[in-house]
Amino acid sequence: MKVLAQYIVATFISFEFVIIALALAIVLVWPNIITPVSSLLGDDAEVLKHIALLPSALAIWIFTESRKLLFPDEDNKRILQRWGDYWKWKIHFNVAIFYAVIFAGAGLISWALGVKANTATGFVLLLTSILGALIVALSVYLARITLSEILVIGE
């Protein structure tokens, strides 16, 4: 039960969840707020492709870094896995990978469907996938710094 509660906390009390909730609210409730901004954008397919694929590139980096963070070199691996809160650490990485997949999927779907950034829905979808992926990447980067701190304390 404690593990499930930690998954719920990590999933719903996060900046990633706020980004998704805000995007849904804008598209469903307040599309007129974003329409003036999105209508100013062009619809160059090549630029949009690269923008839409950015979350996938970040997801690949997140997968690589997550593995390094959960399984550092052999000596540090023992210190980390003996740490009392390692199970929480691992849950947060599982949630980060989940969000990375969601945001990469949103970017890939917008690219595959040819979503245009000059429409309110397309703009919000692209912006959400990019902002969300950047937030997950920043979280993983900060976890890298935290890992160094944990390993120094554990020595």
pLDDT in tens, 45-91: 666 777 888 999 999 999 998 888 888 776 666 777 777 888 998 99
Residue 154 has pLDDT above 70, yes or no: no
User: In this predicted model, what pLDDT tens digit does every residue of 2-25 receive, in sequence order?
Assistant: 999 999 999 999 999 999 999 999
pLDDT in the model for residue 142: 94
Yes or no: say if 19 and 128 are a contact pair by the CB < 8 Å rule: yes
Residue 155 has pLDDT above 60, yes or no: no
CA 73 – CA 95 distance, rounded (Å): 23
Residue 147 has pLDDT above 80, yes or no: yes
Compare 148 and 18 and report the one with higher pLDDT.
Answer: 18
Whose structure tokens read 């554990």?
Answer: 154
Residue 129 has pLDDT above 80, yes or no: yes
Selection from 154, 141, 150, 151 nearest residue 58 by Cα: 141
Return the sign of the alpha-carbon dihedral for residues 25, 26, 27, 31: positive
- The Cα diameter of the chain in Å comes to 56
CA 22 – CA 35 distance, rounded (Å): 15
pLDDT in the model for residue 43: 66
User: In this predicted model, what pLDDT tens digit does every residue of 96-106 receive, in sequence order?
Assistant: 999 999 999 99
Give the pTM. Answer: 0.86
- pLDDT band of residue 39 (cuts 50, 70, 90) is low
Yes or no: say if 117 and 126 are a contact pair by the CB < 8 Å rule: yes
